[in-house]
């Protein structure tokens, strides 16, 4: 027991120094009446002193002991551990990132894809103990990382994603939803989420049908709009901009209405990129609803130190009662 003895909050012990100094100062000050003898009758003055009922005993050693025990209890003395089972929420998130050339537009500085990668990083940080997967899509969809608890690896893979890696241009959401669904169907938990980061869709009808099918299967589709309605010149994937028949530069704009309808069909939320924290809060709230179905993780146990300062409370209460008893202080 002594080998493992330590304080959980050792910095609290620093409060002992000013408390002891205050106790000594008050004890010495008690012995001096100052100017009170000139103002109060000699027969009444002893009755007005603190500790007058204690037959001359000073109350400050007892009060100092109470303060000391209280500080030690707050510091959290500990000498024993508690071992409990580890639980994991039955949650799984698949992040689908669009890698079309339009994601290199600069209406969200420095570019849409750069901001989308930051958003992926925020989602991975917020996943906590949920399993996460990553899908990249443009004309077709590809699995970058299957469902895993290794968030650090998924984060490193996401930072290397770029529209230049995709062999086919486009913005087909339906194949991305199907690929994400294949990853999630192997997960038995009830909280299964797809979070799509995109700036447009070339197959809205098929995407809406795919989202509705996933909703019936118990999978929620959420969409994060990356871009602005004002838009920016549309990159062509080769360092220039797309041009129309007359040579004019084409613009790429975000159309929130279409993306909002697809998310509604999938039973999820549509948010603009700057509202991502609100979506994360919704995902956490959904996870808390399924907290009762959390499962113990096999062969994993958590060990934590117990705060044994509670055992000092009876002694503190007893001494405080004595200090408050008439005739003791």
CATH class of the 87-236+251-297 domain in this structure = alpha beta
Domain boundaries along the sequence of the chain: 6-80+309-324, 87-236+251-297
Q: Please tell me the number of Cα atoms within 13 Å of 315 on its side-chain side.
A: 14
Q: pLDDT truncated to tens, each residue of the chain (329 aa)?
A: 567 788 999 999 999 999 999 888 877 765 555 555 556 666 666 655 555 444 556 778 888 899 999 999 999 999 888 877 655 567 899 999 999 999 999 999 999 999 999 999 999 999 887 899 999 999 999 999 999 989 999 999 999 999 999 999 999 999 999 999 999 988 877 889 999 999 999 999 999 999 999 999 999 999 999 999 999 999 987 888 989 888 888 999 999 999 999 999 999 999 999 999 999 999 988 766 554 555 555 555 667 888 999 999 999 999 888 877 665 55
Q: Could you tell me if 58 and 27 are in contact, meaning their C-beta atoms sit under 8 angstroms apart?
A: yes
CA angle at 49 for the pair 45 and 54, rounded to the nearest 5°:
115
Helix (H) / strand (E) containing 147 = strand 141-148
What pLDDT score does 53 carry? 47
Distance of alpha carbon 55 from alpha carbon 58, whole angstroms: 9
Beta strand 81-88 pairing with 295-305: antiparallel
Give the residue from 228, 3, 23, 1 showing the smallest Cα distance to 111: 228
pLDDT given for residue 62 in this prediction: 85
């Amino acid at each position: 027991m002594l080998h493992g003895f330590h304080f959980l909050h050792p910095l609290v012990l620093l409060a002992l120094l000013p408390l002891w100094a205050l106790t000594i100062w008050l004890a010495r000050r008690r012995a001096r009446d100052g100017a009170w003898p000139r103002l109060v009758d000699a027969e009444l003055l002893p009755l007005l002193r603190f500790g007058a009922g204690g037959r001359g005993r000073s109350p400050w050693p007892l009060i100092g002991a109470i303060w000391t025990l209280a500080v030690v209890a707050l510091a959290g003395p500990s000498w024993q551990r508690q071992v409990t089972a580890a639980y994991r929420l039955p949650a799984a998130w698949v992040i689908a990132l669009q890698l079309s050339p339009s994601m290199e537009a600069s209406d969200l500085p420095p570019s849409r894809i750069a901001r989308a990668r930051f958003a992926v990083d925020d989602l991975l940080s917020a996943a906590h103990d949920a399993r996460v997967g990553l899908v990249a899509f443009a004309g077709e969809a590809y699995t970058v990382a299957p469902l895993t608890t290794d968030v650090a690896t998924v984060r490193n893979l996401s930072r290397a994603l770029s529209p230049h890696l995709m062999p086919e241009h486009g913005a087909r959401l339906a194949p991305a939803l199907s690929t994400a669904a294949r990853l999630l169907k192997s997960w038995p938990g009830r909280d299964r989420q797809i979070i799509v980061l995109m700036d447009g869709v070339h197959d809205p009808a098929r995407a809406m049908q795919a989202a509705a099918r996933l909703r019936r299967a118990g999978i929620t589709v959420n969409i994060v709009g990356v871009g602005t309605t004002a838009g920016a010149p549309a990159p062509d994937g080769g360092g220039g901009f797309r041009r129309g028949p007359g040579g004019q530069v084409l613009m790429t704009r975000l159309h929130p209405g279409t993306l909002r309808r697809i998310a509604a069909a999938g039973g999820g939320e549509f948010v603009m990129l700057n509202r991502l924290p609100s979506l994360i809060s919704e995902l956490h709230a959904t996870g808390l609803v399924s907290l009762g179905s959390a499962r113990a993780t096999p062969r994993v146990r958590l060990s934590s130190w117990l705060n044994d300062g509670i055992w000092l409370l009876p002694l503190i209460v007893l001494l405080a009662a004595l200090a408050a008893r008439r005739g003791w202080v």
